[in-house]
Structure 1
Amino acid sequence: MINDSALLESRSLRDSVLDRTDVLDRVKALSLLPDGMHVTTAMVAAYFEVTVEVVRQLTKRHREELQANGMAVLRGADLRQFESDNVSLSTDSYPQARRSLTIYPRRAVLNVAMLLRDSDVARQVRTYLLDMEYLARTQPVENSPQPDAASLDDRIDQRITHILGKTVVPMFNALIETSGEHRRELIALRAGVQHIERRLQQHQARLRRLESPREDRPLAGVMAAMDAMSGREFEHHIATLLRRDGCTDVVVLGRHGDRGVDITALTSDGRRLVAQCKRFAPHLRITSPEVQKFVGSAKVLHASDVALFVATCRFTPDALSIAEQAGITVVHRGLLEKWAAGDMLRVLK
């Protein structure tokens, strides 16, 4: 298995995995500009949880490589046209009289992840990337799905059984036929190998029984299913749960003009509901700035009666405190699992 530091040192290795941009959303949802294709330097910094200056310095050191992967600096007429097409850039977060704007497509953002040393998010992207690459190189060539841990172990057991039955045992038979002095020892060794072969076959049979689907057992846990979703799929899944629990007029908003929320709806008793959905890796945390931003969108812009912040991870203590003070219902990973499994959220009753 290649250590993730190899990606930091080898451009050829980085180039070989740049098409796997889906890894970015598997680790943490990447917010894009309204064009659905690019992010700014500030958005790259927010994704990797570093300062803008860190990203600028990295861009300066690796400009040629990043430009080869789509990073561009817009100026003049190109900048004005881009700003016109992306109205959200003209907010207080950006200077109105900028002379240039650096934009990054997803491929360039993945490139940054493979260059950025001091970022836990970037490190997680590199680890996830190398795990996927390792599985891709070690699985058979035929078009089969990625193996899970159990099926991979089963394949290894079958291979060992094949080797024992087709090579090792016949070798012992040949040695026994030609040996006189050590015949008894060889017979004992052959018996031991045949015993191991039988135990492996029994083990394979048990695995197949355990892994076979049953009507009273789901094929996969509810959280495992949500962890495998894209950010957009996760939003639609939450909308389905809201409809299940009696909400009406449920709308999953597009990436443009959502004003800081992902879903709007009416509860069964007519209250206005908004929801923010974050499909993050389980080891990450929702922080207080993210909750504060949602409070403004939910309470000020949307004047909601019910505000849900739904995430596949946990929240920091500060984030939980702010949510409680502002009347935001936090649906963390544990509560989300119960909700998806059939329990109704108390705020919807």
Structure 2
Amino acid sequence: MINESALLESKSLRDGVLERTDLLDKVKALSLLPDGTHVTTAMVAAYFEVAETVINNLLNRHRQELQSNGLRVLRGPELRDFKELNLSFYQSGYPQPRSSLAIWSRRAVLNVAMLLRDSDVARQVRTYLLDMEYLARTQPAENPAPTDVVSLDHRIDQRITHILGKTVVPMFNALIETSGEHRKELIALRAGVQRIERRLHQHHARLQRLEGVRDDRPAVGVMAAMDAMHGRTFEHHIAKLLRRDGCTNVVVQGGHGDRGVDIIALTPDGRRLVAQCKRFAPYLNITSPEVQKFIGAAKVLHSADVALYVATCPFTPEALSIAAEAGITAVHRGVLEEWSAGEPLTVLE
């Protein structure tokens, strides 16, 4: 099984997942140049929330690999033609003359995500890649359908199966009864249609299993499982982690009348604990107003000794700062992944 360290170190493993450029936008929207295909080095740096010099240093260290995945350095007439195509961008974004320009394809940007160590955004992209790699390895080979079209596949499968079972097969039965010369061919065709019908039933059952949340999924893939949970299921998952780590009197009370917290419990040493659980998309953020609201509920309404704000997405820097000042433990996506994999929260010890 691929892990994050192996992905950072092995070019062959990186090459195996470079087609998943769609994951970039699942973590954070990637702005493109007017040509709709490329980004500049500055835009790559903005996406990964690092300095442009960091990306330039990465380019110098891994130039050959990045060029094989779509990085190009334009000069001369090629640069002039490119500027004309993206004129509006250069008028507002790069007023100074340039003798060369590095442009990056989406594939090259994904390559950066697998090389850049000190970026939370890059780490989130790698997490998604690992999750999707796990799902690809564990689902049946004859079912390569991406998870974002599962519901559509259900409807198509059911409709085709209905047509085959209620219309096509009875038609063959009638033809077979009245035909003499082509009876064998019709019987063979009917058998083929019935095989397709059975396969569609099996395909439908496999998709239903893949849609369900699996409690036995290992650490690689655990974030994909949590991303697929409903809010209430996510709250119970967090309650399960608290019980695993020795908390007692764990009660899930999220919903109407919860007084601003989703879970109440006692830590292993008897302190009063409350938790807020937010299952948000990984490209969103927990903001400072949300943390401030939770501070009031945790400290004023519940007099909590330990307050956890658990989220499947990052926190803004201001939100993290306010949480730290108020004694709130921010369990963001990275910490949540480690906690779910067995690493206990320090505040519970």
Q: TM-score range by the shorter chain?
A: 0.3 to 0.5
TM-score, normalised to structure 1, is 0.44
